Structure 1
Amino acid sequence: MKRKILAIILLVFTLVGCNNIKKEDIDESKKIVTVTTSFLYDMVDQLAGEYVNRRLIIPAGEDPHLYVAKPRDLEKILDTDLLLYHGLHFEGKMSEVLEQRGYAASENFKSEEVGTMQEDGSEIIDPHFWFNIDLYKKATESVSKRLIELLPEHKKEIENNTLNYLKELDDLDEENKKLLSEIPEDRRFLITPHDAFNYFSRYYNMPVLAPQGMSTDSEVANKEIQSTVDFIVENKIKAIFAESTTDPARMDKLKEAALSKNFDVKVVKGDDNELFSDSLAPSGEIGDTYISMYRHNVKLIVDNLK
């Protein structure tokens, strides 16, 4: 029944929606690749940017957890030559349509590579794999394969771009390890609003606490605030970090609660001083590519914790 309903929806948009798609900034000689997130938008650019038209569904800087799909998003999904998405339920309510029409960058991940987390007493899949550089490389290889299938005439160029980009990711990993090693062992704790950094935590052996859980729109329970504050005070955490797609006021609550225990912790926030978690920055801003985003995050962490 679900498949029939989906087919009807897609047919309706095919008949009444696709003719309304704006064609500006589209090179008619190039095929269209539609992606769900800014991470994939950048990845496609690195691998085959000059050979395709790219379309993005969830705008850079917006929170995918809160994003509500619009009619024009279905139009983008239908009017494309290749549709790429993260998978692991990151795209939420759009997942069913995406699974029917496109390819997940995480399609070749092994079950043991995928993390889980607790949400409202249940174990759920953790979709934030991009903070594990090895998994991001694996996703890059999957996307590269799909792009080559789409553009066999550019197979050699895409393969070369892929190899070069994988080397850049290896270099980034080594750079991150060197910088993070500057933080003393007893200060290697990362406090963020929501559970986006568990892959980072395991990959770089840096414990993470996130009182808000996975959802970015949930209210933080008093018991979660209290347990996090106790941890901050006990471990004398120097700084806690706001994120670019969450409300920094929620971290201010932790600071206020710590002050009531006579401990002052810095909230790292403000322009260019927030961690990127679920999105890259808009084009032209700091953190508008995966590599620059990761460099920004690691530098911000190291500068405030070492």
Structure 2
Amino acid sequence: MNKQFKKDLPRWVTTVGVLSLVLVLATACTQEQKEQGTAVEAGQKIKATTTIGMISDIVGKVGGDHVEVTGIMKSGVDPHLYKASQGDMRKLDQADIIFYNGLHLEGKMQDILEKIGKQKPVIPVSKNIAQDQLRAGSPEMGSEHDPHIWFNVQNWMSAVETIRDELSALDAAHAEDYKANAEAYLAELRKLDDYTREQIASIPEAQRVLVTAHDAFGYFGDAYNIQVKGLQGMSTESEAGSQDVTRLRDYLVENKIKAVFVETSVPRKAIDAVIQGAAQQGHTIRIGGELYSDAMGKEGTEEGTYIGMVKHNVNTMVKALK
């Protein structure tokens, strides 16, 4: 062994040792990323941005302590007409994952969401609902399906399962927590589904007619056996015309319907025109109450949760129609 080789040997051994250590650490980090989910750093909360309040609520329930939820649309906001602000774009940009309804509910945000979806997970919570459970849409919606899926509680249970699975894929380290949170919340939704069915069934069948400002309650009608009439179409982008007002007025007069409902996110001007038209024909119609349709109540209130919103609607309907 020559003298120069002996001289360089310690340096060579040291270099090999360092490279080996780097390789071991890299392998360990890769394994840890696999175990903890590659999209979020260990110990960091997932930043989830959502569109409508109903989605914000269930993402918070499923995500628990591991998810920071930022909602874009607040109480009283109409998602059909909503346009993203610069502040909203920042929230979408900073998110690790985005949840939205889909089925063209967020019509004016659709292109934005599709573009962002090329860079990060952008998930429509409606994606796993069976096709035969979706109602037909209407031309003004730009979608072949009715987007108001949350009015059938069983559809919303599917949304909860979708959120559970997507959070678990993003953050595998806490998958068991997401599963446990989802199971606990799904149990509450099963009770809500039963409660809704029982309460609506308590209304005499002849009086079981729900008349609202726009056609948002179709899934509710199908699921809980109540006839639904909307003055406007499924989207509030389509304004009610004089023929729509006349048609609904005549229906209410002929069928002696005594109560109609207004919605928190839809102006009541057109419904008032129906009531006035019926009064001119000697038929009195009253406002049966205010319902939450495309937006929940204010944050921090019972109606500011999905379950509270549905119970409020059901109790309001029963009180007015029974």
TM-score by length of 1: 0.85
Distance 1:143 1:288 in 2: 20
Q: Which residue of 2 is the match for residue 45 of structure 1?
A: 60
Structure with the greater alpha carbon radius of gyration: 2
- Runs of 4+ aligned structure 1 residues displaced above 4 Å come to 120-123
Matched, 1:261 2:281: yes
Note closer, same or farther for the CA distance 1:141–1:254 as it changes in structure 2 (3 Å cut): same
Note closer, same or farther for the CA distance 1:153–1:122 as it changes in structure 2 (3 Å cut): closer
2:140–2:238: 8 Å Cα contact kept in structure 1?
Answer: no
Q: Which residue of 2 is the match for residue 300 of structure 1?
A: 316
Note closer, same or farther for the CA distance 1:305–1:222 as it changes in structure 2 (3 Å cut): same
Note closer, same or farther for the CA distance 1:255–1:133 as it changes in structure 2 (3 Å cut): same
Distance 1:120 1:148 in 2: 36
Which of 282, 290, 299 pairs up with 1:283? 299
* Aligned positions, number: 275
Q: Which residue of 1 is the match for residue 184 of structure 2?
A: 164
1:244–1:276: 8 Å Cα contact kept in structure 2?
Answer: yes
1:29 to partner: Cα distance: 3.5
Q: Which residue of 1 is the match for residue 98 of structure 2?
A: 83
Worse-matched range after superposition: 28-37 or 156-165: 28-37
2:214–2:231: 8 Å Cα contact kept in structure 1?
Answer: yes
1:292 to partner: Cα distance: 0.3
Letter in 2 for 1:88: L
Q: Which residue of 2 is the match for residue 72 of structure 1?
A: 87
| Consecutive unaligned residues in structure 2, runs of 5 or more | 1-42
Identity %: 35
Matched, 1:155 2:210: no
TM-score by length of 2: 0.81
1:123 to partner: Cα distance: 7.4
Q: Which residue of 1 is the match for residue 126 of structure 2?
A: 106
2:141–2:235: 8 Å Cα contact kept in structure 1?
Answer: no
Worse-matched range after superposition: 211-220 or 184-193: 211-220
Distance 2:182 2:45 in 1: 20
Worse-matched range after superposition: 69-78 or 178-187: 69-78
CA RMSD of aligned residues (A): 1.8
Letter in 1 for 2:108: K
Helix, strand or coil: the match of 2:263? coil
Q: Which residue of 2 is the match for residue 239 of structure 1?
A: 259
| Consecutive unaligned residues in structure 1, runs of 5 or more | 1-27
Q: Which residue of 1 is the match for residue 239 of structure 2?
A: 219
Q: Which residue of 1 is the match for residue 20 of structure 2?
A: none
1:119–1:213: 8 Å Cα contact kept in structure 2?
Answer: no
1:286 to partner: Cα distance: 4.1
1:192 to partner: Cα distance: 0.3
Once the two structures are superposed, residues 28-49 of structure 1 have per-residue CA deviations (whole angstroms, 9 ceiling, x without a partner) of 9422111111111100111113
Once the two structures are superposed, residues 170-196 of structure 1 have per-residue CA deviations (whole angstroms, 9 ceiling, x without a partner) of 100111111111110100100000010
Note closer, same or farther for the CA distance 1:30–1:123 as it changes in structure 2 (3 Å cut): closer
Worse-matched range after superposition: 138-147 or 281-290: 281-290
Distance 2:94 2:162 in 1: 22
Q: Which residue of 1 is the match for residue 149 of structure 2?
A: 129
Distance 1:237 1:276 in 2: 21
